[in-house]
Amino acid sequence: MIINNDTIIKDDDPLIRTKSKDVALPLSDEDKSLLLDMHKYVYDSTIEEIAEKENLRPAVGISAIQVGVPKKMTAIIIKDKDGNPIYDFALVNPKIISSSIEKSYLKYGEGCLSVDGEHEGYIYRSARCKVKAYDLLLDQDIIINAKGYLAIVLQHELDHFKGVLFYDHINPKQPYFEDPEAICIE
Ligand code: CO
């Protein structure tokens, strides 16, 4: 599948609100190839020359519904400043099995490949979460103990399975309401 900024479903398409379904394991060739294409998108999207040539918008994650497929699959790559992946996942049926009461939020807000408009405000999420999934890259079931930025990214991507977008979480009356107990991530 060709994935680029023109083929990614945007939030003006009601499809983005579709609830995603569990994926049968072992993966079919079709599901495997889609997830690898999503993973390649995320990897290439932060390499400037490729991103420019192939019309990719920089991202740390993408979920299958964003290419119009309502299946619980997501690819996440968080790179260090030299471009080497610190976290690298191609997840199937990821599920949050526990999460902290303590919250955190990104100081500069969140972004999404499916959202072009500006939506300013803080998005509070659990500061830590434990996610169980099958990871295609390792070909095994894994448990991710996430905190900090990774925990935010996982919760953002898993929200896509419910048809939820990041700005749904912004307090409409007080978008920059500051919760003094929450951890601010810069
Ligand atoms: Co998103």
142 alpha carbon – ligand 1 mean position (Å): 22
User: What's the confidence (pLDDT) of residue 137?
Assistant: 98
Give the chain's mean pLDDT: 98
Whether residue 3 is contained in a domain is answered as no
In a domain, 181, yes or no: yes
Query: What residues have CB less than 8 Å from 89, skipping those under 6 apart?
Result: 74, 75, 76, 77, 133, 135, 137, 144
Q: Which of 122, 121, 163, 152 is nearest to 21 (CA)?
A: 163
On whether residue 2 sits in a domain, the answer given is no
- What would the pLDDT profile of 77-134 be if each residue is shown by its tens digit? 999 999 999 999 999 999 999 999 999 999 999 999 999 999 999 999 999 999 999 9
Distances (CA, A) of 110 to 45, 65, 81, 159: 17, 18, 19, 13
In a domain, 5, yes or no: no
Print the domain residue range for 155: 14-185
Please pick, among 52, 54, 110, 157, the residue that the annotation labels catalytic: 157
For 137-170, write each residue's pLDDT tens digit.
999 999 999 999 999 999 999 999 999 999 999 9
CATH number at residue 143: 3.90.45.10
- Between the CA of 160 and the centroid of ligand 1 the distance, in Å, is 7
The answer to whether the Cα torsion of 169, 73, 71, 35 is positive or negative is: positive
What pLDDT was estimated at residue 162?
98
Q: Indicate the number of domains in the chain.
A: 1
Residue 8 in any domain: the answer is: no
Categorize the per-residue pLDDT at 57 as very low, low, confident or very high, splitting at 50, 70 and 90.
Answer: very high
pLDDT digits 0-9 by tens, 25-56 = 999 999 999 999 999 999 999 999 999 999 99
How far apart (Å, rounded) are the C-alpha atoms in residues 104 and 106? 7
The percentage of residues in the chain with a pLDDT greater than 70, rounded to a whole number, is 100
Residue 81 lies in a domain: yes
Q: Residue type for 179, please?
A: D
Cα 103 to ligand 1 centroid, rounded to whole Å? 19
157 flagged as catalytic: yes
> Is position 168 within any domain?
yes
For 1-25, write each residue's pLDDT tens digit: 999 999 999 999 999 999 999 999 9
User: Residue 95 domain-assigned?
Assistant: yes
Span from the CA of 70 to the centroid of ligand 1 (angstroms): 14
Task: Output the pLDDT for position 2.
Answer: 95
